């Protein structure tokens, strides 16, 4: 009974945390079967990290935390367990399309999304600490192979494991964030990001793309790829039409999955297109500041290449 109560509480916390929030019930291209040819789009370390299959070699381990394989096992078990409670919410995210929870299976790649914020103190409690730390993003597909659910697994959930009966131990301490998805595998692939950024800016990507989480309360699934260019590129903000030169571009959906938000983003100090949020938590009467890590941002503006 104790475990059941904890499990119900965990599910309730996930619903209240905003499953599917800011995702605008998206429709977009499904999982691609081919990888774009990055010849001419990458150079240096980025080019050296291309595997024989054309994909970037990305992290599969996290020091002191879960591996990609461990996170995938947890996400699949969680999908089957939580689906009993969260399927209506996931279906809502999918414009009402139902999900056969028992048919969910792993698909696509498991991405590590790093946190843009400094670790919170122990006084914040494990739930808040897990909310802002790095996450593994795991995609689950239905029987037809189409993306249906995305689950974010905090990297430091090392006290969890999947038993032989596919039940997760200590699940009441888990803080997974999930959303239903329909015909879209987001975040986009790093190869798509590199190709698009190189084409838009005229500059090749010089470092392996890294995935960066958005600030709370945006879901981890809205993480964007951070790409470093071989030389500064001039980009133009859509909101102010002003031009700026930058070595670094973010690529993804911004704060909501929609056709108008998909593309290049510039890190800013004062963006108006991704609303600034109170960067602090309040717990037991104590204010716990949420501090950005050095060289990270919480504000972004949509941009285009100079010739667009």
Cβ neighbours of residue 31 closer than 8 Å, sequence gap 6 or more: 107, 108, 141, 145, 146, 147, 185
pLDDT at 185: 64
In order along its 308 residues, the chain shows pLDDT tens digits of 222 223 333 333 333 333 444 444 433 334 555 789 999 999 999 999 999 999 999 999 999 899 999 999 999 999 998 898 999 999 999 999 999 999 999 998 999 999 988 888 888 877 778 888 999 999 999 999 999 999 999 998 777 878 877 788 777 777 899 999 987 667 899 999 999 999 999 999 999 999 999 887 788 999 999 999 999 999 999 999 999 999 999 999 887 777 778 899 999 865 444 445 556 777 778 888 888 888 888 888 999 987 65
pLDDT at 122: 81
pLDDT at 308: 52
Torsion of CA 182, 156, 299, 217, to 10 degrees: 60
Q: Which of 124, 183, 175, 122 is nearest to 152 (CA)?
A: 175
Q: Residue ranges per domain, the chain?
A: 2-34+58-180, 190-305
Let me know: does 52 contact 35? Beta carbons within 8 Å: no
- Torsional sign, CA 23, 253, 153, 143: positive
> What ranges in the chain are assigned the alpha helix state H?
2-16, 44-48, 68-93, 126-132, 190-201
């Amino acid at each position: 009974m104790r475990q059941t109560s904890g499990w119900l509480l965990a599910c309730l916390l996930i619903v209240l945390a905003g499953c599917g929030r800011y995702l605008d019930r998206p429709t977009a291209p499904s999982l691609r079967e081919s990888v774009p040819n990055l010849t001419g789009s990458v150079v240096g370390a980025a080019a050296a990290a291309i595997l024989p299959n054309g994909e970037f070699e990305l992290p599969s381990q996290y020091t002191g935390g879960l591996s990609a394989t461990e996170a995938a096992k947890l996400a699949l078990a969680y999908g089957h367990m939580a689906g009993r409670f969260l399927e209506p919410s996931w279906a809502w995210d999918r414009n009402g399309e139902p999900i056969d929870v028992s048919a969910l299976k792993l698909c696509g790649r498991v991405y590590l999304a790093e946190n843009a914020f400094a670790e919170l103190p122990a006084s914040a409690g494990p739930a808040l600490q897990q909310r802002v730390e790095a996450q593994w993003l795991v995609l689950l597909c239905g029987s037809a192979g189409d993306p249906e659910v995305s689950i974010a697994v905090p990297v430091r959930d090392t006290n969890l494991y999947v038993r032989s009966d596919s039940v997760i131990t200590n699940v009441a301490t888990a803080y997974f964030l999930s959303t239903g998805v329909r015909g879209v595998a987001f975040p986009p692939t790093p190869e798509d990001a590199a190709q698009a950024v190189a084409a838009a800016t005229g500059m090749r990507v010089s470092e392996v793309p890294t995935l960066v989480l958005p600030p709370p309360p945006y879901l981890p699934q809205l993480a964007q790829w951070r790409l470093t260019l071989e030389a500064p590129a001039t980009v133009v903000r859509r909101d102010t039409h002003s031009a700026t030169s930058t070595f670094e571009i973010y690529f993804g959906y911004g704060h909501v999955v929609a056709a108008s938000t998909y593309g290049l983003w510039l890190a800013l100090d004062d963006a108006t297109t991704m609303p600034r949020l109170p960067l602090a938590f309040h717990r037991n009467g104590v204010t716990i500041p949420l501090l950005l890590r050095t060289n990270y941002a919480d504000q972004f503006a949509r941009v285009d290449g100079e010739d667009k």
